[in-house]
Amino acid sequence: QLQLVESGGGLVQPGGSLTLSCAVSEFPLDYEAIGWFRQAPGNEREGVACIRTTDGRTWYEDPVKGRFPISRDVAKNTVYLQMNQLDPEDTAVYYCAADPSVATIGGPSSSWGQGTQVTVSS
């Protein structure tokens, strides 16, 4: 069974950088996509970025384009989210997810990690 474990969260100052890691037990053939989502207090969970496991193609939501590149290390079965130019509005619990399809990631068919807290504050 697929397992996902996020790490790398913490407290960072505005304008700073932080790298999140999502370690997966495997890159199974049945899971096309690994993605990052976030949920701030009082808000609904929203998508951040997604990467296709096979060829590394990426997709980004507009608020993080150019700031939060997503990448993968196939040998380590790990997906990264490099968070740059952080703003207090980026404060949230960040989750990684795996899904059989890029088109449906974040929905009912996705598997989720437990999340890692990112706090952007002075």
Can you tell me the distance from the alpha carbon of 72 to that of 86, in angstroms, rounded to the nearest whole number? 21
- Tens of pLDDT, residue by residue over 12-63, are 999 999 999 999 987 766 789 999 999 999 999 999 999 998 899 999 999 9
DSSP character at residue 29 = T
Tokens, residue 51: 């990467």
Positive or negative, the Cα torsion across 61, 9, 97, 25?
Answer: positive
- Tens of pLDDT, residue by residue over 84-108, are 999 999 999 999 999 999 999 999 9
State the pairing for strand pair 58-60/46-52.
antiparallel
pLDDT of the residue at 71:
96
Instruction: Tell me the CA distances in angstroms from 14 to 8, 24, 33, 50, one per residue in order.
Output: 17, 29, 30, 24
DSSP character at residue 31 = -
pLDDT of the residue at 29:
66
How many residues does this entry show for the chain? 122
Tokens, residue 118: 């990112």
Cβ–Cβ under 8 Å, residues 45 and 37 = yes
